[in-house]
Amino acid sequence: MPPLSELPGDVPRDRFLRALRRVGFTIDVSGGNGDHVMATWPTTNKSLAVPHRMIPKQVLKYLLKEIEAVTLSRVSWEVIRKEL
């Protein structure tokens, strides 16, 4: 997990979702509450909610922790960063 200082500033949700789709997540825009979108890892069928609009550093760090837990550490920040 990278330190907060190494994460980019606000990341657009669309870019982040495209990167998640490229690494293997399925995206369901109707599955979240309000403006949230559900990203599901097909192997475990576990999902996480991606918030609306821009994703600030603090939320990005939380999402990266959740992604590592959902994917059983198969998808890391380095993998996602290459796809952004």
In this predicted structure, the answer to whether residue 76 has a pLDDT above a threshold of 80 is yes
| pTM reported for the whole predicted model | 0.88
- Give the chain's domain count: 1
CATH of the domain at 72: 3.30.920.30
What is the pLDDT of the chain when averaged over all its residues?
89
Q: Model confidence over 10-47: pLDDT tens digits?
A: 999 999 999 999 999 999 887 666 788 999 999 999 99
Q: Which residues pair with 47 in a beta bridge?
A: 40
pLDDT > 90: what percent of the chain? Answer: 62
Give the C-alpha separation, 34 to 84, whole Å.
25
Instruction: Give pLDDT, residue 13.
Output: 92
Q: Quick check: 19 and 84 in contact, CB under 8 A?
A: yes
Spell out the alpha helix ranges (H) of 1-84: 13-23, 57-70, 77-83
Q: Is residue 2 part of a domain?
A: no
Q: Is residue 36 part of a domain?
A: yes
Mean pLDDT of 70-82: 90
pLDDT > 70: what percent of the chain? Answer: 96
Distance (Å) of CA 66 to CA 23, 77: 15, 11
Tokens at 57, concatenated: 């550093």
